Amino acid sequence: MFWCAFVVFFLALGNELHLSHATEVSVNNTENKLCLYANLMVNFSVTYEVGVNKSETVLFVLPENVTTEGSICNNTTSTLKLGFGDGHSWAVEFTKDNKTYQVDSIVFTYNLKDSSVFTNSTSNETKSVTAKPRITNVGVDTYYSCKSENVQRVESVTQTLYDVTLQAFVTNGSKSDTDTVCTADLTSTTVAPTTTVTTTAAPTSTPTPTLPTPTTGNYSIAPDFNSTACLMATFGLRIGFKQGDKVETINLVPSATEVGGACGVNSSILILTSDTINIMFTFSNDSKKFHLHALNVTVKPATGVAVVAANTNMSIWVAAVGSSYMCNKEQTLTVTETLTLYTFKLRVQPFGVEKGEFATAHECSLDDTSILIPVIVGAALAILILIVVIAYVIGRRKTYVGYQTL
């Protein structure tokens, strides 16, 4: 059945950490009434082959220019299909019972022949992966709302959904004003992204942590199991955060942390996940230098709700591409007014890793002793000269007094 679709797009001020745009889509039926609505952000990470035992990972987003051809609205089943680029599509399958509806699956189809996305791909296949997100028990005549991340990993593809608004089986031709909120949002407190960052002292509301120095962890990302690392990092990590008027600190435990992420040409991501901490580092590469561009942090304390914070306008840990960045001294990074990171014995290289080893390091100013050495040597020489002068003056005076006596 052919359905007439009306599609509206807009570019939102998005969390740059997710590198995405917001896409708002309205699908109308043959009576020109709204039957499907979506307003969401989706990021894709796809690993593909570029040679014998060689692969690359590309990061891209659901773009503004999509089509809705193939979208279908029925009484108990509906499909929202968004087409984009050269043969790519993203489709959501809905089913409904009497009082609720749910998402049965998300089918992502990508065309490896599209060289604008999959550079140097050795395959011309069009592949599909099916994910089964936990979007269930959405009340009829309500829309599904979820600000939190929903990460779906299937084979070599990772899809990250966030800031999601979805409504299927729309009645009366207009989007509902009532929402069904996802569980993740009900158990978290989200802190709006900030546009400032400092690497100096922690804010007065966050006292110096009293926990033991965190254990140093070694983290790396490889395109596949047979490849050497494309991103390497080693550091100890502590997080300070506010729960109401109370300030708490927590250490990341490397032995209880899972490592994820992806390496791209212009952007690489490191994701560390434990039972209590989920943190995403986004690094940018301008072909000459790299830097940490964004941080997304979720802390799940033993008591209270989760704390979520993001900073998408950072420019720290800067070093030349092909080198690494190192800072052995403790660094303090203020992510937001309510959350602060402390790093220890840090070394990172998100681009240009060769043979699984760190390249020559660019040292942070806290570690740089090259300026102190001449200052110390100069001060020592000045003191020595002063001692010699004083000794000379005293010696001359004694000699002069002796001559007067004679």
Residue 58 contacts by C-beta under 8 Å, 6 or more apart in sequence? Answer: 45, 46, 48, 117, 118, 119, 264, 265
Burial call 154-182: b when 16+ CB within 10 Å, e when fewer: eebbbbbbbbbbbbbbbeeeeebeebbeb
Q: Which helix (H) or strand (E) holds 405?
A: helix 372-405
Q: Which CATH architecture has domain 217-363?
A: Beta Barrel (2.40)
Please tell me the pTM assigned to this model. Answer: 0.55
The length of the chain is 406
Give the Cα separation of 240 and 274 in Å (integer).
Answer: 16
Give the Cα separation of 201 and 327 in Å (integer).
Answer: 16
CATH 2.40.160.110 fits 5-186, yes or no: yes
Structure tokens at 72: 């279908």
Residue 86 sits at the vertex; the CA angle it makes with 163 and 37, to the nearest 5 degrees, is 30
CB 168 within 8 A of CB 176: no
Give the chain's residues under pLDDT 70.
1-21, 187-210, 224-226, 366-379, 396-406
Give the Cα separation of 249 and 31 in Å (integer).
Answer: 57
Q: What's the pLDDT score for residue 21?
A: 55
CA 308 to chain centre: 12
Give the Cα separation of 266 and 221 in Å (integer).
Answer: 16
Give the Cα separation of 326 and 127 in Å (integer).
Answer: 40
CB 233 within 8 A of CB 270: yes
Residue 186 sits at the vertex; the CA angle it makes with 22 and 108, to the nearest 5 degrees, is 40
Task: Give the max Cα distance, the chain.
Answer: 128
Q: What's the pLDDT score for residue 302?
A: 78
CB 274 within 8 A of CB 156: no
Q: What are phi and psi of 243, to 5 degrees?
A: -120, 95
Tens of pLDDT, residue by residue over 96-106, are 998 999 999 99
In the chain, residues under CATH classification 2.40.160.110 are: 5-186, 217-363
Q: What's the pLDDT score for residue 202?
A: 42
Q: What's the pLDDT score for residue 194?
A: 46
Residue 165 contacts by C-beta under 8 Å, 6 or more apart in sequence? Answer: 37, 38, 39, 40, 143, 144, 145, 179
User: Tokens 């080198």 map to which residue?
Assistant: 323
Give the Cα separation of 325 and 360 in Å (integer).
Answer: 8
Burial call 195-207: b when 16+ CB within 10 Å, e when fewer: eebebeebeeebe
Q: What's the pLDDT score for residue 390?
A: 81
